[in-house]
Amino acid sequence: MRAVLSGMGVALPPSAVQDELWEGFFARHYAGGRSGLARRIFANSGVVTRQAAVSPLLEDVSSWSTERRMRRYQDEAVPLGRAAVERALADAGLAASELGLFAVCSCTGYATPGLDILLARDMDMSPNVQRLFVGHMGCYAALPGLGTVSDFVTARARPALLLCAELTSLHIQPAGTGAADVQQIVSHALFSDAAAAAVLTPGGAGYAVREIAAVTDTTTAGHMTWEVTDLGFRMGLSPQVPSVLAAHVRALVDDLLGRHRLTIGEVDGWAVHPGGPKILDVVQERLGLDDAALTASREVLSAYGNCSSATVLLEVEALRRRARPPRRIVVLAFGPGLTLYGALLEFSTVAE
């Protein structure tokens, strides 16, 4: 029995134009010696619009304590996550009470009781529903989450739901100096907010989760960090990240596909986490893909920004909603470790 992606739902906070975010907040935030560099980073980010549950155009959170940010996270993430879950369940034609497992991925906020408990309560999930919270894995968290949820569905023959909810807008940092501040500028130019949910069921028509694969290069663990500070969570993002991905991504994809005797040429859908334009360029070059292969990835970056763990689900949803959806989708995501994760999804009918 295969675990099949039978429904998806997306919920987005209010959108803002990248240029307006720059002119209305970040130009002032980075006034002085960093202004020219910051302007170039924002202009070259590949982002045109993105979302913010807590918009810097309305509220400057850069001086907020971590406690204040976490309280606001709960206020914003619960209704956003609920909207995504409701849409995914409706798409799958299921009631919340039918779920056997409810898994939540988030690296941008913590509280207990968390989203898994509060949403299970508010949405009348069964008191017997099993819950899992995946925290601080960063941008690739959706794929180990998807692997765990699909394993549950396969083993227990019960539906499950994965929710990725990220509010990166809560973690704008004070302007500083040095290389670390450049990394903050890059993250402030890219990151965005979103919630995306996926329902998996035993069998049926939809994209079956065929394989999950991962590789971690611990020699580069310091290249990407997400540190809890007194002023929220601070991103560390080395400019060497694309070169590390270049060294590993081809072998990861070849291994992922080779387990099913497939080649890159037999994949007609690609959902590559858009950690930035350079990362997409590196993946495209190492895999030998044409421009059309990464259209969905670049369009998601342009329209939504980097929404951390929710991003690849946004891309899968975009691919499955095409007039001619792909038969096979390879999903790739990257994050702290440095870790690369891949998933193979393949469309199956009820008969299969």
- Plot region of 305 (φ>0 → left; ψ -120 to 50 → alpha; else → beta): left
In the block, which residue shows the tokens 């590789």? 215
In the block, which residue shows the tokens 């206020």? 75
- Token digits of residue 58: 């309305």
CA 308 to CA 274: how far, in whole Å?
A: 9
CA 352 to CA 1: how far, in whole Å?
A: 10
Nearest to 52 by CA among 74, 80, 27, 93: 80
Q: Where are the alpha helices (DSSP H) in the chain?
A: 18-21, 27-29, 35-43, 66-92, 115-122, 142-156, 178-190, 241-258, 277-287, 295-304, 311-320
Nearest to 4 by CA among 352, 348, 351: 348
- Token digits of residue 4: 């099949």
- Plot region of 4 (φ>0 → left; ψ -120 to 50 → alpha; else → beta): beta
Helices (H) and strands (E) in the chain, counts: 11, 13
- Token digits of residue 222: 């310091």
CA 345 to CA 32: how far, in whole Å?
A: 48
State the catalytic residues.
139
Task: Judge if the upstream peptide bond of residue 338 is cis by omega within 30 degrees of 0.
Answer: yes
